[in-house]
Amino acid sequence: MYILEEPRGRAYEGLISMAFRVCDEFILVKKDQLTLTPAMEALSEQLKPYVKTVKKQDAWPGTQLFGHYADVYYFDCQPPLEKLILESADGLYDWVWPNLLEDLCFFKGSQPWLVNIAHEHEAWIKTDDREEILQFRGIEGLMVY
pLDDT, residue 83, reads 97
pLDDT, residue 9, reads 97
Q: Is the dihedral of CA 40, 45, 46, 51 positive or negative?
A: positive
Chain centroid to CA 99: 14
pLDDT in tens, the chain (145 residues): 999 999 999 999 999 999 999 999 999 999 887 888 888 889 999 999 999 999 999 999 999 999 999 999 999 999 999 999 999 999 999 999 888 999 999 999 999 999 999 999 999 999 999 999 999 999 999 999 9
- Parallel, antiparallel, or unpaired for β 51-57 and 25-31? unpaired
pLDDT, residue 37, reads 86
Taking a C-beta distance cutoff of 8 angstroms, is the pair 95, 104 a contact?
Answer: yes
pLDDT, residue 40, reads 86
pLDDT, residue 34, reads 80
pLDDT, residue 98, reads 87
Residues pairing with 60 in the sheet: 63
